[in-house]
Structure 1
Amino acid sequence: MTDSIYFAPLLPWQQTLWTQLTARVLTPQQSLPHALLAAGMQGMGKRAFVWRLVAWLLCRERENHPLGACGSCESCQWLKSGTHPSLQVLPAISKPISAASSESYEALKSTSKKTKADSKATATKAIDNAALTTKVDDIRALQPFIYQGGQGMRICVLDHAEQMTIAAANALLKTLEEPQAQVYLFLISDTPAKLLPTIKSRVQQLPLQIIAASTAQDYVTHALGSTINREVVSPTQIEQLLQLANGAPLTAIDLAQASWYSKRALWLTTWQALQQGKRSSVAASDYWQTQLGISDFIQLTEMMLLDIQRVSLGLASNQQDIDLVTAIQNYQPSDNALAALASNLQQTKIALQQNVQEKFAYDKLMQQLAQL
């Protein structure tokens, strides 16, 4: 994530909310709530909205730029350099950084462990997860910034708020219960159900989750252009991507561009070959290691597993471009086998974080697929 997120174009489905919030700020006798929660599944653009709003609130020229921060005033320059004195971000790794600072970001991520290049995605996720927890000392360290008074507008952004420790959440309650003039708190959460009820009751949630189907389809279609991996994209394929992404446009775009998405039919062929005994698990493992890194293969398998479970329950497949129904009719996996594979996928993720070799993980997963 770079500082450009502060000045990125507004996502189409966020225009109404943006207008409502900025009008409150620009209208005398009105203001924003002191604590706002941007919550919901990934891929809806909630972080993009928050960072854009933060930049605009701090912008010295916001009255002349109602559609977004100017990008050139002293405040915007501070944001670009990552040194804005009126912005605090927890955890620190969530703070947007400039391209010039990207090396320090990579250094921060690599302090936990070194990994092979083909394990980069899995390792980064593991390292980031370890760095996303906000502790009570982090909240206490914010107090001087929040209560200093007379310093103009100050903004605190608490990303991954659901990962605050209980002690940290309780410490935050005091700040929420005693709002300070010109101090705004933005909480961001992918899983708001994990937030303490006492926290949720003291913040106002931004309505960022509702996106009209036509708006989402138009946005994804425009973003992807006419082809994906040199294949023409049809409206039906866009609908499928959005369905697989639970309606989240940004997730749908990432899905279409993922290296593993085009290999779903190949995964199904491999599974059928394993079931029929036409291919050994060792041969399948050796082949797939030339096709995808293990983290990508796990994502692919998780998607296929979810759809297999749907079809097994008599529901329609989410993937209409591959013949999953026929495969299930010929090889109906048991509920226990499906649950076991799902559990093993999670165990494999943990094992990879502990430097288990990818070949070993691949071999084991193929053995499990043969038994599904």
Structure 2
Amino acid sequence: MSELTNMTDDMYFAPLLPWQHELWSQLTMRVLAPQQSLPHALLAAGMQGMGKRAFVWRLVAWLLCRARDEHPLGACGHCESCQWLRSGTHPSLQVLPLVSLPVNADSSAQKEALANSTKDKKSAKTASNASLKIKVDDIRALQPFIYQGGQGMRICVLDHAEKMTIAAANALLKTLEEPQAQVHLFLISDAPAQLLPTIKSRVQQLALQTIDPAVAVDYVTKALGSNVHREAVGTDAIEQLIQLANGAPLAAVALAQAPWYSKRALWLTTWQALRSGKRSSVAASDYWQTQLGIVEFIQLSELMIIDIRRVGLGFEAQQKDINFLINLNDYQPIDSGLEVFAHSLQQTKIALQQNVQEKFVYDKLMQDLACL
């Protein structure tokens, strides 16, 4: 489970995450109570893997549900409104950018719209930055929907709100400053520090970031244990996953299920073989191309570099299941060299957006790793 943008319509009706029950109760009670309502604009912010998007989509579905009074724990999933959500054609919901709309695999109209939004791009992965950008014309296009009046509840969701251009953010300010009856705006951001202060001052932030460690451990344990193809994961391994994911349970689960996570010790072995000259960079490149895609290898490398730097500075490695000291006893790279390699990884990400062939990228990274 993750917070990536290509979700399914199940996000509207998925079970509430364990650490979100209290906030859910607070918000739904305000809606159901006489003479109370939700704030005009809400911000769901924080690192990926905390479940903020899951919470927002579930709340959106419940607010629009025709039977919400009888279903306080979530949308009914069967009324006309819920069926519109499943088909991706709800007339009272607008989402920016379009690629953030939960995708129904059976909605041909929605698939066509999404395809058009990323045309001329080799893949959604390499075009992500461009497809997530929210421009001033996008905000202006919402105005008729927001100000039409007399149409019942209407909801606008701005995902990746930090991707708004300055002009788009300024255009949004007018809407935030002039609340319309029965119109609710939800802003979602992985990097709220990048939002304009004037935007943040006009929205109420949802308390989604505090998760009890015991609740996180229990959730990750159950999530990984539900996969019958995996061996049981011990408590130490679970706690390490949560630590590496900065306390975000969904990110911890995604990390455990990432194809590169089990290859961390192999990465160290490859580095030592390259550094000692026991293996050529070309041979290492050819081998790793059969193991992981280049994006996954970069993610693996970034994690390994963090702990190599920690150990070099005299701190304990976060990855307790790998003995970094054995690998670093005879040789420890200087911090400037690690910085150069980390910079090379960042430059590689940029190069991949220009459709550079993965083989060339792999070859270059292995040469850089050999010199580390």
Q: Same fold (TM over 0.5)?
A: yes
Total equivalences in the alignment: 364
Does residue 11 of structure 2 align to residue 5 of structure 1? yes
Indicate how the Cα distance of structure 1 residues 108 and 57 shifts in structure 2: closer, same or farther if over 3 A, else same: same
What's the secondary structure of 1:140's corresponding residue? helix
| Aligned partner of 1:27 among 30, 33, 36 | 33
Query: Which residue, out of 39, 47, 50, partners 1:44?
Result: 50
Taking structure 1 as reference, are residues 275 and 291 closer, same or farther at Cα in structure 2, changes over 3 Å only?
Answer: same
What's the CA shift for 1:227?
7.0
Question: Cα offset for 1:43?
Answer: 0.3
CA deviation string 1:161-207 (max 9, x = no partner):
00000000000001101111111000000000000000000000001
Aligned-residue CA RMSD in angstroms? 1.5
Could you tell me the TM-score, scaled by structure 2's length? 0.95
Partner amino acid for 1:197?
P
- Cross-structure match for 2:120: 112
Q: Assess if the C-alpha contact under 8 Å between 1:58 and 1:153 holds in 2.
A: yes
**Structure 1 residues 164-203: aligned runs within 5 Å:** 164-203=164-203
Look up the match of 2:238: 238
Match of 1:117 in 2: none
Q: 1:98 aligns with which of 101, 104, 123?
A: 104
Question: Aligned equivalents of 1:267 and 1:293: distance in 2?
Answer: 14
| CA contact 2:162–2:195 (8 Å) conserved in 1 | yes
- Once the 2 structures are TM-superposed, how far is the Cα of residue 41 of structure 1 from its aligned partner? 0.2
Change (3 A) 1:6 1:364: same
Q: Deviations over 1:141-175 (max 9, x none)?
A: 11111111111111000000000000000000011
Shift of 1:99: 1.6
Please tell me whether the aligned partners of residues 225 and 232 of structure 2 are also in contact (alpha carbons under 8 angstroms). no
1:104 CA drift (Å) = 3.4
Distance 1:169 1:297 in 2: 36
Residue pairs, 1:248-287, within 5 angstroms: 248-287=248-287
Aligned-pair CA distance for 1:109: 6.6
CA 1:47–1:189: 2 relative to 1, 3 Å = same
Distance in 2 between residues matched to 1:59 and 1:351, nearest whole Å: 45
CA contact (8 A) 2:126 2:352 kept: no
The letter of the residue matching 2:82 is C
Preserved contact between residue 43 and residue 205 of structure 2 (Cα < 8 Å):
yes
What are the within-5 Å matches in structure 2 for residues 1-372 of structure 1? 1-101=7-107, 103-104=111-112, 107-108=115-116, 111-114=119-122, 123-225=123-225, 230-372=230-372
**Is the CA contact (8 Å cut-off) linking 2:41 and 2:176 kept in structure 1?**
yes
Shift of 1:328: 2.6
Give TM-score, length-normalised by structure 1: 0.95
The range that moved more, 61-70 or 327-336, is 327-336
Letter of the structure 1 residue corresponding to residue 141 of structure 2: A
Q: Is the 8 A contact 1:112 1:127 kept in 2?
A: no
Q: What is the CA-CA distance between 1:39 and the residue it aligns to?
A: 0.2
What do residues 292-334 of structure 1 show as CA deviations (whole Å, max 9, x unaligned)? 1111111110111111122222221110111112323322111
Deviation of 1:105 after TM superposition, in Å, equals: 6.6
Distance apart, 1:289 and its partner CA:
1.1
> Are the counterparts in 1 of residues 30 and 36 from structure 2 also a CA contact under 8 Å?
yes
Q: SS at 1:232's partner residue?
A: coil
- CA deviation vs aligned residue, 1:325-352 (integer Å, no higher than 9, x gap): 2323322111211111111111111112
| Closer, same or farther: CA 33–226 of 1 in aligned 2, 3 Å | closer
Displacement after TM superposition at 1:30 (Å): 0.8
Distance 1:254 1:330 in 2: 34
Rounded to whole Å, the distance in 1 between the matches of 2:116 and 2:329 is 49
CA distance 1:109–1:228, shift in 2 (3 Å): farther
Compute the displacement of 1:108 (Å). Answer: 4.1
Q: Is this contact kept in 1: 2:285–2:362, CA < 8 A?
A: yes
Q: Percent identity over the alignment?
A: 74
Runs of 4+ with deviation above 4 angstroms = 226-230
Contact 2:9 2:85 in 1 (8 A): yes
Contact 1:317–1:325 (8 Å) recurs in 2: no
CA distance in 1, matches of 2:80, 2:230: 44
**SS of residue matched to 2:318:** coil
Contact map agreement 2:42 2:186 (CA 8 A) in 1: yes
Q: Quick one: distance in 1 between partners of 2:306 and 2:331? A: 16
Deviation at 1:110, TM superposition (A): 5.6
In structure 2, how many angstroms separate the alpha carbons of the residues matched to 1:14 and 1:96? 20
Whole-Å separation in 2 of the counterparts to 1:230 and 1:33: 44
Is the Cα–Cα contact under 8 Å of residues 135 and 168 in structure 1 kept in the other structure? yes
String of CA shifts for 1:64-109, please: whole Å, max 9, x gaps. 0000000111111111111111111011111112121375377347
Gaps in structure 2 of 5+ consecutive residues: 1-6
Distance in 1 between residues matched to 2:229 and 2:295, nearest whole Å = 20
Q: Partner letter of residue 254 of structure 1?
A: A
Return the structure number with greater helix share.
1
How has the CA–CA distance of structure 1 residues 106 and 307 changed in structure 2, closer, same or farther, with 3 Å as cutoff? farther
Separation of aligned partners in 1, 2:74 and 2:365: 48
Task: Out of 184-193 and 221-230, give the one that drifted further.
Answer: 221-230
Q: Is the 8 A contact 1:35 1:204 kept in 2?
A: yes
